[in-house]
Amino acid sequence: MQRPLHALKEKIYQNLIKPVLQSVSPLKEAALGSAVGMFVGMTPTVGIQMWAVFMIWLFCKYILKTKFDLVIGTALVWISNPLTMFFLYYGFLVTGIAFFDLVGIESIDISYGMFQQQLSGIVNAPGSGSWDIFLNGAQFLLVDLGFPMILGSLFYATPLAILSYFLTSKVLHNYRKTCAQKMGMDYETWRRKFEKED
């Protein structure tokens, strides 16, 4: 059991933590990249998440004139992936349905088994290419289950994006200060020397 756990820890470090720690973007840009990636990663959009982060990056950079670290943003969407999407998506759906029930709006009722069976059937359909899987999955998730799932995802995506922003800023600031101390310089000198400027 130790080996698979070690492999999982290594995967998490390589794909989620290392891109943040190796970033040389200003703290604000790194933290914003983390928030955008976490927000998109916690929406029911597996398959187009990296593309969505890239489109948001283009919009922010050229329209809003605001920058964020694209590498961090695209890395953090891997929070949701083919292994976690069943659990996350069902959680989003249940949350959305519960919200609808709370405000008195009638919605659908689906068990986890039915949900997983339908999604597995789409993903594992014989002879289906990536495009077919994407279209059939999008129809099931966005049309058949759509609004409750999307709304439910926002109850997770929004607070986790905010938390991710502040956590990334704090952790990366402390990490960079430690790196600066190990190099025998103060933090401001480290920033001038290593932080990228556009």
Q: pLDDT (tens digit, 0 to 9) for every residue of the chain, 198 residues total?
A: 568 788 888 888 888 899 999 999 999 999 999 999 999 999 988 888 999 999 999 999 999 999 999 999 999 998 888 778 888 988 998 999 899 889 888 777 777 787 788 878 887 888 777 787 778 777 777 777 778 889 999 999 999 999 999 999 999 999 999 999 999 999 999 999 999 875
When computed from its CA atoms, the radius of gyration of the chain, rounded to whole angstroms, is 20
**Is 123 domain-assigned?**
yes
| Boundaries of domain holding 136 | 26-191
- How many domains does the chain fold into? 1
* b/e map 69-104, b = 16+ CB within 10 Å: bbbbbbbbbbbbeeeebeebbbbbbbbbbebbeeee
pTM: 0.82
**Is 7 domain-assigned?**
no
Phi, psi angle pair for 128, to nearest 5°: -90, 130
**Is 153 domain-assigned?**
yes
For residues 12 and 98, give the distance between their C-alpha atoms in angstroms, rounded to a whole number. 31
For residues 98 and 152, give the distance between their C-alpha atoms in angstroms, rounded to a whole number. 9
Q: How far is CA 134 from the centre of its chain?
A: 18
For residues 54 and 56, give the distance between their C-alpha atoms in angstroms, rounded to a whole number. 5
**Is 179 domain-assigned?**
yes
For residues 20 and 172, give the distance between their C-alpha atoms in angstroms, rounded to a whole number. 7
